[in-house]
Amino acid sequence: EAQVTQNPRYLITVTGKKLTVTCSQNMNHEYMSWYRQDPGLGLRQIYYSMNVEVTDKGDVPEGYKVSRKEKRNFPLILESPSPNQTSLYFCASSLSWQTGELFFGEGSRLTVL
Amino acid sequence: GENVEQHPSTLSVQEGDSAVIKCTYSDSASNYFPWYKQELGKRPQLIIDIRSNVGEKKDQRIAVTLNKTAKHFSLHITETQPEDSAVYFCAATLVTSGTYKYIFGTGTRLKVLA
């Protein structure tokens, strides 16, 4: 089954404790990206990757890191989480930038205390 | 900076009526305009999209129109049904100076009243 898989789905952590949210797709997609969803603010792009080893900042990259060492994986790293990073996070992928349609993962709800 | 404005933030319609959601984008370089539907507790899913070389596109009860001059695009849902109740997001892609971003609107919560 074609899918985008995120883990963990739910996480409660404390300020400053490094965490990684994994994202994996099995569709051989080139383009992958991360979004955070907050009430009233919609979906905001954090980082994106055009292909392996090619990443760039979205609109709200502060406090986040990413890597794209393999085509299928695009982990989101919070080196020192803060309460303002409490949010619902979505990973998404598309075949390429040109094809457009994003396939989203199920989301990861993160709470930072 | 680049942004996409979406209106209204909430919309209630009677079953069978039409619903219209409007978006405005800021950067004339945008060339792809998708609409996503997000049901409660679920992931966003694409329902329709349009590219900048097309003015209108239809798929059964949903349609999207694009006015490039005014930098407006709209989602039209006819004969609404209770299962259309969800949050709808418009988006615009932006390709400029080597960046490839997706900019989403803030969402419209549509309630279809039976």
10 Å CB burial of residue B75 (0-12, 13-18, 19+) is: buried
CB-neighbour burial class of residue B70 (10 A; exposed 0-12, middle 13-18, buried 19+): exposed
Q: Look at A43 and B6 and tell me if their CB atoms are within 8 Å.
A: no
Give per-residue pLDDT as tens, A68-84.
999 999 999 999 999 99
- The residues with which B99 forms a beta bridge, in sequence order, are B96
- Which residue ranges in chain B fall short of pLDDT 50? none
CA angle A92, A102, B35 (to 5 degrees): 125
Task: Provide the terminal-to-terminal Cα distance of chain A, rounded to the nearest Å.
Answer: 36
Kindly give the pairing relationship between strand A108-112 and strand A10-13: parallel
Rounded distance, CA A47 to CA A45, Å? 6
Q: Is B44 on the interface with A (CB under 8 A)?
A: yes
CB-nearest to B106 from A35, A42, A102 is A42
Model pLDDT, residue A96? 84
Chain B residues touching A31 at Cβ < 8 A: 100
A to B CB pairs, distance under 8 Å:
59
Q: Residue A41 is which amino acid?
A: L
At residue B1, the pLDDT reads: 64
* CB pair distance less than 8 Å for B100 and A102: no
> Chain A contacts of B9, Cβ < 8 Å?
40
Measured between beta carbons, which residues in chain A are less than 8 angstroms from residue B107?
42
Cα separation of A98 and A87, whole Å?
29
Other C-beta atoms lying within 10 Å of the C-beta of residue A13: 16
CA distance A53 to B88: 33
Query: B24 with B71: CB under 8 angstroms?
Result: yes
Whether residues A104 and B34 touch (CB distance < 8 A) is answered with no
Q: Which residues of chain A have pLDDT under 50?
A: none
